[in-house]
A and B are shown apart, each in its own frame.
Chain A
């Protein structure tokens, strides 16, 4: 009798912990670093993927209400997963989408874009990953929402989900 009660209790607690961890798992994927809010976008200079011209970031981050900076790579499987969402986002005229190609090979990056479509208005390259470190990125993919004052207003770590898409659309209205 006593054992049965104990068993029920432990099983109940195990199920409870299971759901907590499950929830935590979904939470941890997209979390916003609080301190990044006030930070401004750092300026950088890099080669553009298609033209291979050296461009300053100031030349790209202008004349738009909002910018979305997406760090991606052709070798990164989650990037492939989030690509349709980026394509959808690019239909929004309020935002200018900028890609930052992370530690990639030019040819495979171009092939990736030919194959899956180009959501970006500009693609910058970050061959050794130094620009991404400067932006405070943790890895690929990562997405920054930047306002017209070049302030980073939101940051998504990991692939964007449909839910994030709605969040972003609400944010840039």
Chain B
């Protein structure tokens, strides 16, 4: 009870600090040559109070203080400590408090770490960031107060949704938020740079660190979400083009484009407008994502509450930010035309620009697929759902030139490349990849034109990046790891869709089913009576074409009153494939419906995405050491 109250009041105090910071910053903006020290201490205090508030909520969760509505709705005394703590941000109110905490941490770090930057730029960034922070403070206090009081105090809480009790999901939201909030710093600082006409090489060098931080967290956050969907939801896939997944992919695409453009800006001082537009849109997309998920417009496992008041608040806040940035961009920004130099067709920057356009195209596809159904529903009342075929048809063909440019681009020089100097091995790998992809696909009877070309393009990127590892240029190791990771990702997704197989059969206990890739033996079933459900566990033995034996134990749960049946899949992971087995009860029959999937290279999808992030981390470490 005490912890909740302390939490609430320190949250209110935190809001007041924003007002102090803003008033002091405005005074300080024109006056002195140095930053007022009070700004640092106030920012620190604000961070401290939000932290106290967050810890207050965690303590309420640990103590199972059910006088707090948030705790009552999302916790239970019998829950393990780990899930009590992760329950703090596993709900709408707590997760917003976490947003706020990360916002204050980041702006404090920004202030401390940007000492070499001009004073006015730092103060203006702080001001823009405080506008965002105030918006979130008001949002939390007005519509989603995590410290609401409940009387009479219930003796037991309602518990956390079992689907959310998962170690990966406990860390997935905080990591994703670090990415989203990181993009808010990029947003504020790019607006400040535009107002002060500070879009320069120095700015690019400094902001790139923040872009990298946001990008790394966003990448890992998406990866964790995807792993969770695969294991916990048991749909047997890693990406479903679910609107909520798309909403996290869009800022990622935008940020990836920005990550590459900022390099061009740093080297050549071109693309300034484009960098600003990307910085603004990354954060706008993150905010829109929050809006779409939190307002309940999209229905999915991620939706916390269908409360339209919350939705309207974020919507208005989002559009205020959009208007501020539009006005700043149009009235303050002028492209430095004098320095604009000619761009040569065979140069690194051309490759980056080309792939930027491809990434913008992918972004538009995802954006249209996600938002268009909402528009259509409102305007005409027609409900449509956009599924994987839409995205696959529109994205896959354009991956081919994208991959090829990705392999050649890093081998070109900045400004202009002497074509004679281009390594002969590039052409050699070109032919090799073409041959290999043709042979692989022919052998598996999958040799359609698009398959062959796609496999060729990803193999080409794979070989070229592998070769680049042997070059002595240590500077671009991060780029090599990143690009290598991406080629591996596309390859594993490709092989996954090509070599995965699925068998659906009806089996009785004791029966054996042989198919071309192995044998399924249904050995026995065991039943257990657990609290409010009956558990039926099937024992299966599977022998694959290489005579390997695996045992899988899928489960069926029958909840009583009313009868609800759920299936829990069993998954065995190996280096080359995942074996996935799920069984269902068939009404009034003595056999079970069994679905067995062999998913090729599943683990490589996770590894390669992790490699992408590792590339980012390498680059970040190098940048931080440069200073």
Contact = CB atoms under 8 A, between A and B. Distances in A.
A109 to B, nearest CB: 10
Nearest to B73: A75
Nearest to A19: B378
Interface in B294-351: 295-297, 299, 305-308, 311-312, 315, 319, 322-323, 326, 330
B497 to A, nearest CB: 31
B69 interface: yes
A134 B564 contact: yes
B383 to A, nearest CB: 9
B378 A24 contact: yes
A26 B308 contact: yes
B111 interface: no
Contacts of A129: 158
Contacts of B295: 25, 28
Contacts of B307: 78
A108 B152 contact: yes
B308 A7 contact: no
B378 A20 contact: yes
B72 interface: yes
Given A28-B306, A78-B307, A134 B296 contact: no
A42 interface: yes
Interface string A1-43: 0010011001100100010111111111100000000000010
A91 interface: no
Given A7-B326, A75-B72, A78-B307, A27 B377 contact: yes
Interface in B243-268: none
B319 A157 contact: no
Contacts of A92: none
A25 B291 CA distance: 10
B306 A14 contact: no
Contact of A14 (B154, B291, B323, B561): B323
B46 to A, nearest CB: 29
A107 interface: yes
A59 to B, nearest CB: 17
A134 B319 contact: no
Contact of A130 (B152, B299, B306, B559): B559
A134 B3 CA distance: 38
Contacts of A134: 561-562, 564
B375 interface: yes
A44 interface: yes
Contacts of A42: 562
Chain A interface size range: 35 or more
A45 B561 contact: yes
Q: How large is the interface on B (under 10, 10 to 19, 20 to 34, 35 or more residues)?
A: 35 or more
A128 interface: yes
Given A22-B312, A44-B562, A28 B322 contact: no
Contacts of B296: 28-29
Contacts of B326: 7, 10-11, 14
B78 interface: no
Given A11-B323, A24-B374, A75-B72, A103 B158 contact: yes
A55 interface: no
A158 B377 CA distance: 19
A115 to B, nearest CB: 11
Interface string A125-146: 0001111011000110000000
A24 B297 contact: yes
Contacts of A22: 312, 315
B244 to A, nearest CB: 14
B312 A25 contact: yes
B154 to A, nearest CB: 4
A149 interface: no
B378 A157 contact: no
A105 interface: yes
A111 interface: yes
Interface in B148-205: 148, 150, 152, 154-156, 158
A21 B315 contact: yes
B529 interface: no
Given A25-B295, A29-B306, A75-B69, A131 B315 contact: no
B152 A131 contact: no
27 contacts: A18-B319, A21-B291, A21-B297, A24-B297, A25-B308, A26-B308, A27-B378, A28-B295, A28-B296, A28-B297, A75-B72, A75-B150, A103-B158, A105-B152, A105-B155, A108-B150, A108-B152, A108-B154, A111-B152, A128-B532, A130-B562, A131-B561, A131-B562, A133-B564, A139-B306, A157-B306, A158-B306
Interface of A: 3, 6-7, 10-11, 14, 18, 20-29, 42, 44-45, 75, 77-78, 103, 105, 107-108, 111, 128-131, 133-134, 138-139, 157-158
Given A24-B297, A25-B308, 20 more contacts: A6-B330, A7-B330, A14-B326, A20-B374, A22-B312, A24-B378, A25-B295, A27-B377, A28-B306, A28-B308, A29-B296, A42-B562, A103-B158, A108-B150, A108-B152, A128-B532, A130-B559, A130-B561, A131-B561, A131-B562
The 9 A-B residue pairs whose C-beta atoms are closest, nearest first, are: A134-B562, A105-B154, A25-B311, A23-B378, A7-B330, A24-B374, A103-B158, A28-B297, A158-B306
Interface of B: 69, 72-73, 148, 150, 152, 154-156, 158, 291, 295-297, 299, 305-308, 311-312, 315, 319, 322-323, 326, 330, 374-375, 377-379, 532, 559-562, 564
